[in-house]
Structure 1
């Protein structure tokens, strides 16, 4: 595959050149405003606790509307009465009031205000709010929790940090798409719960990129991996109707807002960060050694009355009985080196500022071979505001190239677990792969099935604002995204047993995925204060178009390894799929926000959506929500009687959102060509009447602050009901079609409790300790499905039960006479069929949470995060599907298998074949197990050098840090990982590095 890293260099140069041209055209000096005479001038410098100047700090004269801001060096100058009071305020810092008292120079240090509910800005999408004033349910993770983690996808940074947000990592391999679900499963369709992702105002298609690799064929590739994590300012997740209804159908499953960094204050600086380290598989199974394995196998043959032969037992007859190989060490025991470099340059003045950055990451593999993962990114942001503050421009561009070679055609994870410990050596004496006289498939044949995936992703946004005066502002957003992902998988000659060698078997698989979209959103906002009454309104339009294409081909019959992948050299080329899809979306939206004396808040949002995925008569739908909040701690009677309560707020919301997450053109009848010339046959039925899913969301919440907001507690209760379910309705074969797209009379309910607790335990000059805890109790159930028993879904769902269930046989123990598993024949008809599957096993999270601590001791910072999930899953035995005693290694637990009547064990008698009793047990509740776990998700330790030292070094900041991830997991689950199952566990990663600011 052609390498596109050179493109990145030219893109960065073009962006930098454009930036310099723009800066040369704008003015850099502000016109000073004359101040009244007969007052004294006061000047000084505003710094943070580390002695660094803070640009952009607002200094006002108390009880007046006069003020100024600090420049790039933190300096200010203001004319004020000699007996006046100066008020210093800046987002994220405590506001300070200083009496002038005739002083001509006043230098101050601002302290970070961790618990300031009203200071930290929260991105709510089309508008900003604060923790104090929000009426909706919004969770936020800041850059401090994101940029230092040694990961590649922003979704991984959210694990364990947010209540109501489930993120599952299906594999520890870099680039595999993680799944995210916000407040449960809303749809009967798997994959119908994807939230809306917006990066700097641009909606993106975050669905996984399909891949045929053994590690990615089920989950696909993550398109978010092309983002530079060090360039992310914050990630907000919008959950309830009040927060999401303004996005209409697109926000039915929640909204994930990713905001990148900007140089807001105009400060000039260069920041560089570099870290390196390694990753290893975080867990291994306790498998049998050679002596134990051979004893189990011999006993299994004796129990079956079968004689081992070269064909049915090469491990007992042909292979060395004293040989022992730890296949987990051999196939998964490698160390993956990691190097990550990030750099950014920022600067500007009061009117114009910019930030230009880039990153490069290289990572190896824990598997045999020299496969690598490489990522390079470039990002640029430009902010400009006219001198009269009427016009503002905000431009961002993020470009990433992701090259992944970590996926190939051998499932080393499964082989590492099941290969017999006395299996042959991997190589012959001449260095060729050892095929052991055709008695096994050499696991290293995967080295000759390489897979190369390259993804290029561009995200850009331009926002223009103009202040019309009298509280009116016009704004337009222009967004564009372009993703191109190409994949080549090769089957080279050494991947085959020499006995079956034949150049006609050499083959390659190719896929080309392209996603292009644009969006235009003109908006009008109105902000006005009438005494104690504040009005904030917004209305706008959305025009969006997505163009998606997928082309897959394969080539066979290459003449040589060097030609594999060049389709022009193949004897035969076949096009498997050639899809081109256009999706159009339009909407009108509005919001009216009201508050009275910063105490009573009322929020109304609405949206009218139109989607091309529905028939002509069903394309338009209306959605809306109402949210309200009462800050009761502002009431006089509360302040007089509950002095310990520093903040108290009730809030609630109700509204509807919809969903159009269905395949495009689903309402149309379609045809395909026949194998013969000139023929067509129908493949899908026309149904213009199916329409939007409706999700009705209800929420109530209580927020409390104690001891000057050093303790903040939030408790949410929510209930979401999704009805009019869109899905493929199965049809009988006599119709000639397998299904038709339709709305089913089914309603799904998600309800639960979310608790978030933040405490500032200690705050001193030399010691600081903060704790954040989140806890979620989710409940999901199918509350209604008319005539379920008359549909094929009767074999999947039950009314009143969760969607994530397994209908299983009832396990009845081990037969004391035969030593085999038994399940109950419920209807006692002498046979086992689906009517006997009366057991209902819930396969999902019962509750989950995380606890994070941040401790600062002088110049040392320590942070760690624990994640806990209580859940049930299928057991390791079901994942492997191997009878105890069958060919292949197994857990040491099978050493306790049943041998005679009276044995108390849950492992049946050893056998070399998969009997019906074992197969029935696989579909019983015997194979459901507790997969709960407690994991040390992240651990970080850093040291910040003192101001005196860094000044001597000629720099502004210098930090050294050590980071670790997935250090240990406490669980009773038998397999490799309680979340990934029989897959690569999350990597145990340890890195160290430095960050320097000049």
Structure 2
């Protein structure tokens, strides 16, 4: 037994009795900064230790052992001990979705995991395939805290964007700052008319969507204070694509498709309509005549036309072609691109939108890598041909179903004896809008010595727009005397900017310091010229002002705006675990008087990556990433009219002058104080990422019209009042890698925002012009309403509560306050790929209340207008318990209806869930395309606004209470992307 055992014992004894030795070392990151809490294990034995605060460690091990160094966020390294007694290890970061994403913060860049501020980002992949004209439309629902509403789907119309709510009492004071490649853009919509009057024209329309690399939105004080007086409402940074070194590559992307109106209203048919109109006359004892009721006495009583299908049921065809060439070497790279976009409309006639864009980017680095230059230019020309009628959609919806034919037997517009307004007449009043826009940027960098760089940002923008409205006689009833008229509106916007900067970056005291100090010099000029022409001898000459009998200048303005600032940033991270960020700016603006021309703004932000702490590593191994961050600071808003502090005069007809504006040299910026706290967590090696942000923004020093006594000759004077608007909210974001394998991948991202807006204080609101608009303690989006008591079963008319019982109905009786702002909103995106097949779908959701059909339409039966089908559930006889008042022709019935439309009865649920985008793609395998000289080929189909789930009875819950704007189009496009 002993003899048998001895050979075995001899075989295993060397490892057991091998002499152990003390091994020491230091663990650092790639930049040489010590890493505390690194786990050092002896492979296969389960024994180990951790590095201390200085990255130092010690362990007893044997020469044949292997040490395993592991740390969350870094690549694991194995090192054989051998004869070594000291082992120093530099761990490399394991690039995940957090470490690998760089964010544009405006004057600097920051890694996603290291940011101290709140910055949301949407990449090119989420933007470029969407068949939209404006880049903001592609962001709807994709960013927490960012609300974007497209008030009309007419191509070219501007969207409304609000970042963390409404800060200013003035609607025009809530625009964010747009910055394209470092160049600020005037974010206000370009004034337009006709069907584009609802929202105006967006200045970003002429940017090529396929040339956008990313869009970042800066939200909190840490991110926006460096923009000072222009950052109160957030900052939208658009970065275009840059040239990359490597083989010259040609990319071509083409798609085409069509869109249809996604929703129509259920209106009365001919029988129901005639019943409504006849009953209204009977109820009020009024006799219909050929003058007040041609629809009942002259028009065909059996004719029926679905006017929504007839005039809004067309297809809007879309064609888009994009091409770009890029390449270069290690020192010089470039990209050159262009695109053509054509989009029709659903209205009958030769209308539509066209856009041609071009872009160029050049990057160069000197051979000694000291000098770098980046030049980019984006140029776009677009043309929108529409018609001069802003209410056309509503006109169509309320058109009586038995209205006459559009054309008479001679093929001319039918006016049916002047008994109606032919809607095609509006379409003959054309609106031609043309614009061209260039945005050019150059960034020069020179490295003075390691860690110190001189940088200069140069920018220039030039936008010119021309809008011509033509109103020919043939668009009107020939029995009405009219003349050929036109209006021409020219708009120009030019600006230049110079921003010299000094950038310093250096390792200091176990951490890393980054500083930026610079200045801004900007000059802008803008102008508008509106000229009318009347009395053209022939319709073909309309628009040629020299052919008009009379010309007159209706508006002429030229405005200069000067802006200067100094700004700075200090960012320090200690061991890539503790981060602090200080930003500040001192601004001067020509929009304010000499007494208040300059102001200071600043912020502090901090972050702590607590997942790097030893106690987390040791006891919370399921947590792969954890960060706490917060910020506080001030920003401002200078979105007011220029020269508002001057005394202003206008000429009288007799040649004299009369005062129109009182001077006030003491008003200054609205100030927004922003506070934020947030937590960011990662689980399962960052396959699950979650973040929660809480914010509170208080905007004070509100710039509003201060009421003056009538004896002064003025109703108000521009001034700052201590009114305070507060926006608070929660922003939650979740991103998960549900399945991650070589053949199948599935990712989900979710964002949801719970905003709350409140007017905190407004001293003297009762004496201001806002007394009947806002209520202290309520949201700025609140409606102040009567309390409805329903339909009186005896009279059949709506009634509202006389709250103070004084026998009158006025604002004092409006005691009900309804918040029409969004209660929460967000979106869910799923991206699934299986081998060469890709599927992506995005769902947008909104919880809100809005104005219903009661406020969108007038008294049923009173006018020659159709009404929604639900009005048939009306009161008909005494004792009826109905929800709709009786049909009426009288002033009494109209007054009752109007009061009800201003009551809580006119408010209802306007929430919705919308399948915003759906994309299916197939990447053709290389074996099938290499013979054609292709490097890659992807075919795809994309759908937009496929369906909407909602209880809202109107056209589009996106903008409840509005039937002027065209609802979102249901669009399907197919395309191919080629790479040579």
Q: TM-score, normalised by structure 2?
A: 0.90
1:374 aligns with 2:354: yes
Deviates more, 1:650-659 or 1:949-958: 949-958
157, 160, 163: which one aligns with 2:144: 163
Residue by residue over 1:227-264, the C-alpha shift from the partner in whole angstroms, topping out at 9 and shown as x without a partner, is: 00000000000000000001111111100000000123
Distance 1:758 1:362, change over 3 A: same
Deviates more, 1:783-792 or 1:201-210: 783-792
Tell me the CA shift for residue 884 of structure 1.
5.0
Q: Which residue of 2 aligns with 1:256?
A: 236
1:130 aligns with 2:111: yes
Q: Which residue of 1 aligns with 2:399?
A: 419
Residue by residue over 1:196-242, the C-alpha shift from the partner in whole angstroms, topping out at 9 and shown as x without a partner, is: 100000001021000121x2223111111110000000000000000
1:851 aligns with 2:832: no
**Cα distance in 2 between the residues matched to 1:263 and 1:674:** 58
Within 5 Å, which residues of 2 pair with 1:82-97? none
Residue by residue over 1:341-390, the C-alpha shift from the partner in whole angstroms, topping out at 9 and shown as x without a partner, is: 00001111110000000000111121010112100000000000111111
Distance 1:450 1:949, change over 3 A: same
Q: Which residue of 2 aligns with 1:347?
A: 327
Q: Which residue of 2 aligns with 1:526?
A: 504
Q: TM-score, normalised by structure 1?
A: 0.88
Q: Which residue of 1 aligns with 2:951?
A: 972
Q: Which residue of 2 aligns with 1:659?
A: 637
**Cα distance in 2 between the residues matched to 1:555 and 1:309:** 39
**Cα distance in 1 between the residues matched to 2:316 and 2:540:** 28
Distance 1:430 1:776, change over 3 A: same
1:933 aligns with 2:915: no
631, 647, 653: which one aligns with 2:609: 631
Deviates more, 1:832-841 or 1:559-568: 832-841
Contact 1:698 1:719 in 2 (8 A): yes
Distance 1:754 1:407, change over 3 A: farther
Contact 2:707 2:767 in 1 (8 A): no
Q: Which residue of 2 aligns with 1:177?
A: 158
Within 5 Å, which residues of 2 pair with 1:404-553? 404-409=384-389, 411-502=391-482, 505-530=483-508, 532-553=510-531
Residue by residue over 1:77-131, the C-alpha shift from the partner in whole angstroms, topping out at 9 and shown as x without a partner, is: xxxxxxxxxxxxxxxx99898999xxxxxxxxxxx99952011111000000111
Q: Which residue of 1 aligns with 2:973?
A: 991
Contact 1:466 1:474 in 2 (8 A): yes
Tell me the CA shift for residue 739 of structure 1.
2.0
**Cα distance in 1 between the residues matched to 2:426 and 2:767:** 47
Deviates more, 1:526-535 or 1:203-212: 526-535
Distance 1:916 1:236, change over 3 A: same
Tell me the CA shift for residue 821 of structure 1.
0.1
337, 344, 347: which one aligns with 1:357: 337
Give SS of 1:649's match. strand
Tell me the CA shift for residue 62 of structure 1.
11
Q: Which residue of 1 aligns with 2:660?
A: 683
Contact 1:332 1:412 in 2 (8 A): no
**Cα distance in 1 between the residues matched to 2:347 and 2:446:** 56
**Cα distance in 2 between the residues matched to 1:291 and 1:95:** 76
Tell me the CA shift for residue 933 of structure 1.
0.9
Give SS of 1:640's match. helix
**Cα distance in 2 between the residues matched to 1:452 and 1:822:** 47
Q: Which residue of 2 aligns with 1:953?
A: 932
Structure 1 consecutive aligned stretches of length 4 or more whose deviation exceeds 6 Å: 61-65, 93-100
Contact 1:331 1:412 in 2 (8 A): no
Distance 1:99 1:343, change over 3 A: farther
128, 132, 135: which one aligns with 1:147: 128
185, 206, 216: which one aligns with 1:204: 185
Q: Which residue of 2 aligns with 1:297?
A: 277
**Cα distance in 2 between the residues matched to 1:752 and 1:209:** 31
Q: Which residue of 2 aligns with 1:879?
A: 856
Residue by residue over 1:887-927, the C-alpha shift from the partner in whole angstroms, topping out at 9 and shown as x without a partner, is: 22111101111123443332111113452211211211111
**Cα distance in 2 between the residues matched to 1:398 and 1:793:** 42
**Cα distance in 2 between the residues matched to 1:976 and 1:873:** 12
560, 572, 583: which one aligns with 1:594: 572
Distance 1:94 1:489, change over 3 A: farther
Tell me the CA shift for residue 789 of structure 1.
2.1
Q: Which residue of 1 aligns with 2:702?
A: 725
**Cα distance in 1 between the residues matched to 2:970 and 2:649:** 50
Tell me the CA shift for residue 568 of structure 1.
0.8
**Cα distance in 2 between the residues matched to 1:387 and 1:563:** 61
Contact 1:410 1:445 in 2 (8 A): no
Distance 1:516 1:98, change over 3 A: farther
**Cα distance in 1 between the residues matched to 2:879 and 2:618:** 72
Distance 1:728 1:860, change over 3 A: same
Root-mean-square deviation (CA, aligned residues, Å) is 2.0
Distance 1:543 1:131, change over 3 A: same
**Cα distance in 1 between the residues matched to 2:562 and 2:269:** 60
Give SS of 2:130's match. coil
Give SS of 1:298's match. helix
Within 5 Å, which residues of 2 pair with 1:789-800? 789-800=766-777
What is the count of residue pairs matched by the alignment? 897
Contact 1:309 1:317 in 2 (8 A): yes
Give SS of 1:369's match. coil
Q: Which residue of 2 aligns with 1:924?
A: 903
1:326 aligns with 2:306: yes
**Cα distance in 1 between the residues matched to 2:435 and 2:477:** 33
Within 5 Å, which residues of 2 pair with 1:780-795? 780-795=757-772
**Cα distance in 2 between the residues matched to 1:687 and 1:831:** 40
Give SS of 1:915's match. helix
287, 305, 309: which one aligns with 1:307: 287
Tell me the CA shift for residue 287 of structure 1.
1.1
Within 5 Å, which residues of 2 pair with 1:742-781? 742-781=719-758
Give SS of 1:268's match. strand
Contact 1:410 1:446 in 2 (8 A): no
Tell me the CA shift for residue 870 of structure 1.
1.1
Residue by residue over 1:605-639, the C-alpha shift from the partner in whole angstroms, topping out at 9 and shown as x without a partner, is: 01111111111121110110000000000001101
Q: Which residue of 2 aligns with 1:384?
A: 364
Q: Which consecutive unaligned segments of at least 5 residues does structure 1 have?
A: 1-60, 66-92, 101-111
